[in-house]
Structure 1
Amino acid sequence: MIDSLSVTPIDNTATDALAAPDALTTHAVPSAATGASADLVVTLREIEQRVLWLATSIVHHANRVRPNTSGVKVGGHQASSASLATIMTSLWFEQLGAADRVSVKPHASPVLHAINYLLGTLDEKYLTTLREFGGLQSYPSRSKDPDPADYSTGSVGIGATAPLWGAMSRRYTETLTGIPSRGRQYSLLGDAELDEGAIWEAVLDSAVQDLGEIVWIVDLNRQSLDRVVPNIAAGKIEKLFDAAGWQVITVRFGRLLESLMGRTGGDALRRRIVDMQNPEYQRLLRCNADELRVRLPGVGDSGAAITTLIADVDDATLLAAIRNLGGHDLDALRSAYAQIDDTRPTVILAYTVKGHGLPIEGHPQNHSSLLTTPQYEQLAASLGERADAPWSRFAPTSAAGQVCSASAARLARDAVPVATPPAVPTDLGHTPIGTGTTQAALGRALLDLTRVAPDAARRVVTVSPDVSSSTNLAGWINKVGVWSTEERHDWFDDDAETIMHWRQRPSGQHIELGIAEVNLVGLISELGSTWSRWGETLFPIGTIYDPFVERALEPWSFGMYAGGQSILVGTPSGVTLASEGGAHQSIKTPSIGLEQPECISYEPAFVVDTEWALLAAMGQLGRPGGKSAYLRLSTRPVDQKLAQIPADPAARERRRRQVVAGAYVLRAVETPELSLVTMGALVPEALAAAERLAEQGVRAEVICVTSPGLLFEAVQARQGQGDAPTWILDQVFPAERAVPMVTVLDGHPHTLSFLASINRVASRNLGVSRFGQAGDLESVYRYHGIDTDAIVRAALDVRA
């Protein structure tokens, strides 16, 4: 493959509209050089114009034609769609194969709909339903859209990086099947999206460097939501990608503009445009021919040469040339695709004009602008379309119709086989004794799974952002190895003092990323989509320090929206991390299960509870209607005899079912006067408080909650607001045993406060609602009012 377009050191002291290395400044690509016939270029241009028309019409109909009874703006992005019309036409109608996948920038969704309509995969009835209930979604969506989309986008930066993790997930499935099934993974993203930090966290991760199937195409239109960006600094962007080991290809000018630059005075014109600031260049796009002849030469020494150069260029050609950037030139794009190096990730920086081909072309505030009806009719006339009948396909016998048919056949995919997840046991059969932590239980459970259910264990893949050993995965990693695209030598394998072995091979089942939580949840989300993408079920489990779960929550939530099913383990957690201080103490994470759609949360108190919850969570993965799970674990050692696991098999199974349903009675008393409801690390304090209350003649039962979210769903269902099972409420919170309640947890008290509404009892709710500080466990618990004394006081108060 051609590798001559890698970035070379450049002087980036000036921030230019079209600045780039000298080696990248020209892409004069005649059609004959690429083997493409002139007829095909003409046909693709015809398709491109129809794509532009349809995409514009989809947004126009939603805003100007469809009745709007609410008065709320519908919206859409005609300008953002227009800047990508050429690039997407060139990809879908010439470059892509059935094995390729594309993540489309959110604001170009109308272009995707237009293309799929021309390919015959989207029915005409949907073209009038953009942003309508049950219709085309605002942004491409795998799970919500009637139009097929490879990746869900819409959350800035996340959709762009998803193909990185999709490529890694696809390669991982190859280790299970032994069958290579690799295509390119494209991301189409806007240049303003590069401001999102998640982009660079992903680009810089060392795990990405071997993924040669990755191709990013940046729509470099130099505009954001509110303005023309004054300092896009393309040279800096090129250097950043190059430093990360990516191949960088810049597509700057089209053939027409290059032809002018090849004439006498062309070097002056090139320097003038390259040195021009972004806003000045954008202003040229709003000029008529006479104004352009005055403004383009500028005031420098080269102005006379440029004036002479353009003097004999007719108005139409001059106006077309100034817009003839590489991202709108099919030959320039084709040349760029031909130079992709498949041994490493590639980024193509394609210069474009926002709103290209529309009356609002290049306007600094065109991001959310909508064409007026007169402008729309003007566009129809210029493109030879009908404003009153916009939804036309090409005649099947026409050249464009034949290209559409051939492209549809080339892109057709076999149906994804229905994945049948391996059976996951519900119980590993242990009755732990001694002292243990829920965090350590995770690693032990995974190791035991390899013995009890090897088929299920083979589908487990763990992921950590450089916290494997500190989240107790060392034993698991020693056994299953670390996944890598190729076998790599472990230089510490013969070191007797090295306990954790880092054996990297394609068959490994642990993936280690750099310290970036967004990357972690992006990867587990894509690993959790392989069942629907490739027909191969995986059980992805990510471990992360619980204080940083909130940082990862938004991208993980988006992964669930996109159909990814995974398990996120937050550990260690809470102010129970006493000596770590407030910086490492989580407060709000326990309520995630109450608020996060498509996710079950567990905060187990004991080792066996952890095993049962983990297995139940795995049993939800890799299937239609499945859910993700969040496990909040602790490093606090707890006496496992306190769990009082029943010895009778039937009673044990009853306890297990209660654990995975959300709660169980840990300490039962006859005719209780009070309920102490707790979860996780605070079970010892609740039990101690119950004993002290008994000494005062107060009969207190202790209820251990494992999943507030499941209990909340049960409460909602009992009130007719859902269809979740409600039996757990009857067993753990029966009306005939309704008594005042004290709830206490290592987290925000609102997490459990709703439980008093089950039987409408008086309650006191203890928890953590302020930042913590370092100290011993007893002092920190006392500081937050969740120690045994505080529980006893609250119990006496609620009975008063």
Structure 2
Amino acid sequence: MEDDHVTETTSPLPTATAPGAGDTGTFREIENRVLWLSTAIIDHANRVRPNPSGMKVGGHQASSASIVTIMTDLWLRHLRPEDRVSVKPHASPVLHALNALTGTLDPAYLPRLRELGGLQSYPSRSKDPDPVDYSTGSVGIGATAPLWGAISRRYVAGLSQGEAGGTGLGRQYSLVGDAELDEGAVWEAVLDPQVPNLGEVVWIVDLNRQSLDRVAPRITSSRFEAMFAAAGWQVITVKWGRRIETLFSRPGGQPLRERMETMPNAEYQRMLRREPAEVRAHLPGDGPSSDAIRSALEGLTDEDIADAFRDLGGHSPEALDAAFAQIDDTRPTVIIAYTVKGHRLSSEGHPQNHASLMTADQMADLATALNASLDDPWALPTPDSAAGRWCAAVGERLQRAPVTLSEVGPVPEDFGRTPKGTSTTQAALGRVLLDLTRSAPDVAARVVSVSPDVSSSTNLAGWVNKVGVWTGAETSARNWFADDPETMLHWDESGSGQHVELGIAEVNLVSLLGELGSTWSRWGEPLLPIGVLYDPFVHRALEPWTYGIYAGGQSILVGTPSGVTLASEGGAHQSITTPSVGMEQPGLVTYEPAFAIDTEWALLASLSRLGRPEGTSAYLRLSTRSVDQTLAAVPEDPAARRRRRDHVVAGAYRLRRAETPAVTIAAMGAMVPNALEAAEALKAQGIEADVVCVTSPGLLFQAHLARHGTQVSEYAAPWILDQVFPADRAVPLVTVLDGHPHTLAFLAGINHVPARHLGVTEFGQSGSMDDVHRLHHLDSDSIVRSALDLIS
């Protein structure tokens, strides 16, 4: 297939630029060593290393083998220190083999795949002992990460007035298995409006036409080509190697090419399993061109034909080099490289080879074929050999300067104002960001907000008007509504804006958040990223959000509006379990403030924890319920105000203190006004109640664990439990939140008191706020009844 977007590579090997780069024999020697090491790493973990449990350790020898040539060629001839590479999950042994050969991994780690403290099952930035640019392992998420990495790098470059585009920033490579393209998140990312500007992005698709269970039933490369081209990508297809191209040039070669290119995937894979004589017999087929194809094969041995048959472009360094030479760097590029799964292994082309493991005899045969030894499997080329010198030169070339971390100015703890009137915690978000630009402009300059087309409906309009919209395009876009007095949200796009608007794709949003939150460790420039999305859609974004945190990305995710308090929006938009999600997510502090001042303090504390080695992410769950801010009863005394702020940040504070409490009501977020109303109703009946405002159930739970010797988070403060749930005031407990009741159920265990837990356990319905609260027993009357049941 060939048009303006799709080219097939047939050009010769480009000029060599590295020691030994033009020496095919040396290249193949290193390639053989990469294949051997990546296969032996998995073999040792499963067959050699003691395994008392008897459980399969796992690994993917066939998936590694299919991409060995691609990765070896990329590392030896094309990578630069400013480039970054996302490696498909199942090829992690290839990455470790290359790192060992080039001197960035101690070979002592090679026998430690999937061992505690050893090499991880999939590439991990935070847990592997050698350089890993992107964590992968979650299908589709690692593939798209370089897109968001490219945007983040451009944003950082603009922050320091660096180069805003082009290859000066380094290429962002993504090595993708073709089955990974089945993941919908891949196409959400490819279609995002920001992506066509990213000329530094290069995807290489390992098209081995196999998934975990089977051979892909149809030829899909042309469909992939068309989809990428329609999205504005440059498409380069690498189908054939030099040997098979030579056959195509012989008399009868064109029918042979047509036969090869129209052969069903399953037939091709079956032919890989046949003996050379069978390949010769079956290859011409029984069509009208069979005689012409036979003539093209005349004079060749059966072995020559079998070797040429499997000579695909993804295993040809010459074809790959030609593809790299054609990248134009003005738009994203995808190189679709045909490969064989299990290339050169005993499992080559087998439909069930995905996780198959070679036997001892098969490993011995492979060692002989690759000039390796089972007795010394981890041997590397000697330093004075051509292969050793080339690997050393690559290691030197790819060395990166140490990252020097820039400092973020001190984040204010308190702006010093006390909100009055009625307001929502959602509205407080935008006000805090605007206040930050006035109180700490240097800190505010590092804030970057991201949203999926919900800026105005989540109260970010004032912030967006203030800082503008960031665009990675070469030129700023004209705002045609700048002179319209009725336009409240001014969409001014430039390279200096601080708000990034994506399409309606939450997966893209949190994936970008993860990369924006990693710039401190990649390039030494901390950003303070804040992503805003509708709270019920946290579940849609959960996997890539979790993976971004696992990979070291530090950011703030704001879910708003939230809960059944959203009322008229109905069950489709009423989030129930998101408080539990935030509480249980590692690497995260979650807050659900009740008042505007709580939102300010929690957000500022969360910002202060970003962009540093010991930092952490945050999740703020906000509400559109308009609340009388005087209910917060913020102390006027500075010391008392500081104490309240410390309690808010630590997880809870006592909002109402009874003289002699008969019951404690612990409420969170939008339920705090209901709790206060219930306390007043109980008081009218002569029953005193303490009211505790919970701001972070996660921090309280971690404090509870820490009290018993389990340190979960450095931000957990056991003292907070003694302040808000002192043992000498232990009385029956009612908990209430706009979410699943189990979120706060652990509070009863602090002092082992009887308790009732109110929350939402069913899908919601449309209605007024009061009606919906009554439906789910969140209203003040339900709180009163629960309290009376406990104390009676």
Give the TM-score, by structure 2 length. Answer: 0.97
Name the counterpart of 2:541.
Answer: 552
2:676 is aligned with 1:687:
yes
Alignment of 1:319-468 (within 5 A): 319-468=306-455
Matches of 1:652 and 1:31 in 2, distance apart?
A: 71
Per-residue CA distance 1:640-664 (angstroms, 9 max, x = gap): 0000000000000000000000000
- What is the match of residue 660 of structure 2? 671
**Aligned equivalent of 1:101:** 84
1:753 to 731, 742, 745: 745
> Residue 35 of structure 1: CA displacement?
9.2
Within a 5 Å distance, the mapping from 1:190-209 to structure 2 comes to 190-209=177-196
1:520 aligns with 2:518: no
Residue identity opposite 1:758 in structure 2: I
CA contact (8 A) 1:218 1:350 kept: yes
Separation in 2 of the partners of 1:234 and 1:466?
33
| Change in CA separation of 1:514 and 1:441 when aligned onto 2, cut-off 3 Å | same
Residue 574 of structure 1, aligned match among 540, 563, 570 = 563
Which residue in the other structure is 2:551 paired with? 562
Query: 3-state SS of the aligned residue for 1:692?
Result: helix
Q: Return the offset for 1:32.
A: 7.0
Residue 48 of structure 1: aligned partner: 31
2:335 match: secondary structure = strand
Q: Does 1:73 align with 2:56?
A: yes
Equivalence for 1:161: 144
Does structure 1 residue 787 correspond to structure 2 residue 773? no
Answering whether residue 578 of structure 2 is matched by residue 596 of structure 1, we say no
Partner of 1:218: 205
Q: CA deviation at 1:179?
A: 2.4
User: What letter corresponds to residue 413 of structure 2 in structure 1?
Assistant: T
Does structure 1 residue 252 correspond to structure 2 residue 239?
Answer: yes
Distance 2:535 2:144 in 1: 23
The DSSP-based 3-state class of the residue aligned with 2:753 is: coil
Aligned to 2:102: 119
The answer to which of 298-307 and 636-645 deviates more is 298-307
Partner of 2:703: 714
The one-letter code of the counterpart of 2:5 is: V
Residue 7 of structure 1: CA displacement? Answer: 3.4
Paired residue for 2:635?
646
Instruction: Work out whether residues 6 and 249 of structure 1, in 8 Å CA contact, stay in contact via their aligned partners in 2.
Output: no
Q: Does the aligned pair in 1 maintain the 2:14–2:325 contact within 8 Å?
A: no
CA distance in 1, matches of 2:10, 2:496: 46
- Give me the whole-angstrom Cα distance separating, in 1, the residues matched to 2:95 and 2:194: 30
Which residue type is aligned with residue 376 of structure 2? A
C-alpha distance in 2 between matches for 1:545 and 1:292: 58
1:4 CA drift (Å): 7.9
2:289 matches 1:302:
yes
Aligned to 2:257: 270
Q: Which residue of structure 1 aligns with residue 598 of structure 2? A: 609
Question: Paired residue for 1:133, among 104, 108, 116?
Answer: 116
What is the alpha-carbon distance in structure 2 between the residues aligned to residue 536 and residue 31 of structure 1? Answer: 39
CA contact (8 A) 2:276 2:302 kept: yes
Query: 2:26, 2:313 → 1: CA distance?
Result: 18
Q: How many angstroms apart in 2 are the aligned matches of 1:640 and 1:708? A: 22
TM-superposition CA deviations, 1:363-389 (whole Å, max 9, x none): 111000011000000001111111111
SS in 2 for 1:342: coil
Structure 1: how far apart are the matches of 2:300 and 2:148?
A: 49
1:467-486 matches, within 5 Å, as 467-485=454-472, 486=475
C-alpha distance in 2 between matches for 1:266 and 1:450: 69
Matched, 1:726 2:726: no
1:421-456 CA-to-partner distances (Å, cap 9, x unmatched) read 221011111100000100000000000000000110
Query: Which segment drifts farther, 178-187 or 191-200?
Result: 178-187
Residue pair 1:617, 1:628 contacting (<8 A) in 2 also: yes
Rounded Cα–Cα distance in structure 2 between residues aligned with 1:554 and 1:651: 41
AA at the equivalent of 1:650 = A
Structure 1 position 420, deviation (Å): 2.1
Match of 1:31 among 13, 26, 32: 13
Q: Secondary structure at the match of 1:361?
A: coil
What does residue range 612-623 of structure 1 map to in structure 2 within 5 Å?
Answer: 612-623=601-612
CA separation of 1:220 and 1:669: change in aligned 2, threshold 3 A: same
Tell me: CA distance 1:293–1:229, structure 2 relative to 1, closer, same or farther (3 Å).
same
Change (3 A) 1:453 1:39: closer
* Matching residue of 1:799: 791
Q: How many Å separate the matches in 2 of 1:772 and 1:766?
A: 15
Secondary structure in 1 matching 2:66: helix
> Whole-Å Cα distance in 1 between the matches of residues 502 and 12 of structure 2?
43
CA distance in 1, matches of 2:4, 2:549: 37
Structure 1 segments unaligned to the other structure (5+ residues): 9-22
Deviations 1:470-508 (A, max 9, x none): 111000000000001231111111111111100001110
Q: Conserved in 1, the CA contact under 8 Å of 2:437 and 2:445?
A: yes
Task: For residue 398 of structure 1, report the CA deviation from its aligned partner.
Answer: 1.8
What amino acid is the match of 2:10? Answer: A
In the alignment, the residues of structure 2 paired with residue 377 and residue 774 of structure 1 have an alpha-carbon distance, to the nearest angstrom, of 68
Which amino acid letter does the alignment assign opposite residue 763 of structure 1? A
Structure 1's 35 and 418: CA in aligned 2 closer, same or farther, altered over 3 A? closer
Partner Cα separation in structure 1 for residue 375 and residue 510 of structure 2: 47
Aligned to 2:770: 778
Instruction: Quote the residue 1:234 is aligned against.
Output: 221
Deviation per CA, 1:383-416, whole angstroms, max 9, x where unpaired? Answer: 1111111111112222212211111111110001
CA distance in 2, matches of 1:397, 1:33: 24
Structure 1 length-normalised TM: 0.96
Which residue does 1:7 correspond to in 2?
A: 5
Query: Partner of 2:526 in structure 1?
Result: 537
Match of 2:173 among 186, 194, 204: 186
387-396 vs 349-358, greater mean Cα deviation: 387-396
Between the aligned partners of 1:280 and 1:633, the Cα distance in structure 2 is 56
SS in 2 for 1:350: strand
Give the superposition deviation at 1:725: 2.4
Q: 1:232 to 1:629 in 2, by over 3 A?
A: farther
Whichever residue aligns with residue 530 of structure 2, its letter is I
Task: Please say if residues 5 and 233 of structure 2, whose CA atoms lie closer than 8 Å, have aligned partners that are also in contact.
Answer: no
- Are the aligned partners of 1:573 and 1:633 in contact in 2 as well (CA < 8 Å)? yes
State which of 145, 148, 154 in structure 1 corresponds to 2:128: 145
Please give the alpha-carbon distance, in whole angstroms, between the structure 1 residues aligned to 2:380 and 2:366.
18
Q: Separation in 2 of the partners of 1:90 and 1:250?
A: 16
Identity over the aligned pairs, expressed in percent?
65
SS in 1 for 2:590: strand
Distance 1:643 1:752 in 2: 21
> CA offset at residue 231 of structure 1?
1.7
C-alpha distance in 1 between matches for 2:217 and 2:15: 36
**Contact 2:415-2:435 at 8 Å conserved across structures:** yes
Partner Cα separation in structure 1 for residue 521 and residue 276 of structure 2: 53
CA RMSD in angstroms, aligned pairs only: 1.4
Name the SS for the 1:31 alignment partner: coil
Cα separation, 2, equivalents of 1:569 and 1:789: 31
Secondary structure in structure 1 of the residue aligned to 2:50: coil
Are the aligned partners of 1:573 and 1:586 in contact in 2 as well (CA < 8 Å)? yes
Report which stretch shifted further, 388-397 or 91-100.
Answer: 388-397
